[in-house]
Each structure stands twice: as structure tokens, then as C-alpha cells.
């Protein structure tokens, strides 16, 4: 009987941790849904344009994402707008 109580306790903790992780994911998604237009400093824009001139579009998109926390789609649209 004690084993079932311990298993229930363990499953409860696991469920709690999963709920906490899901809440964090939802919070991140909510932030993205309400995201603002991408803005970069002049130096960052110059860096992106330099990468584009060197035909390194993927690195440019990655850089924009790192600087702004934008989604992949948002960063690609931004980089495309600079070409």
C-alpha cells in the first residue's frame, strides 16, 4: 500500500513539472503573438546587409533572431525586406 502512495506522489510531482513547463511555453508564445515590429540598431542593420552582400542569408536571419528574439518567419521577412 505504501508503494502506491509513493508512486502517486512521484506522478504528482512529474505532472506538476510538466504543467510548469507548459505554462512557460504558453507564456513565450503569448509574447510572440503580441510582438512588435523588428527594430535593429544602425550597426546591426549594417551587419545584416554585410551578410546579405556576402550571400549569407541564413546567417543574417540567425543574427536577426539572436538580436530580436523574433520568430524564424519574422526574421526572414525582415531580412528579405532589406534585400
Give the per-residue pLDDT at 35: 63
Q: Report the C-alpha gap between 80 and 83 in whole angstroms.
A: 5
Give the per-residue pLDDT at 71: 87
Cell 508503494 belongs to which residue? 3
Q: What is the C-alpha end-to-end distance of the chain, expressed in Å?
A: 68
Mean pLDDT taken over the chain: 89
What's the grid cell of residue 82? 532589406
Residue 53: pLDDT over 70: yes
Amino acid at each position: 500500500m505504501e508503494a502506491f502512495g509513493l508512486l502517486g506522489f512521484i506522478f504528482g510531482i512529474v505532472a506538476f513539472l510538466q504543467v510548469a513547463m507548459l505554462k512557460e511555453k504558453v507564456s513565450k508564445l503569448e509574447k510572440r503573438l503580441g510582438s512588435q515590429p523588428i527594430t535593429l540598431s544602425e550597426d546591426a542593420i549594417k551587419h545584416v546587409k554585410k551578410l546579405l552582400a556576402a550571400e549569407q542569408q541564413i546567417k543574417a536571419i540567425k543574427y536577426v533572431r539572436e538580436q530580436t528574439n523574433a520568430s524564424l518567419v519574422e526574421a526572414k521577412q525582415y531580412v528579405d525586406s532589406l534585400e
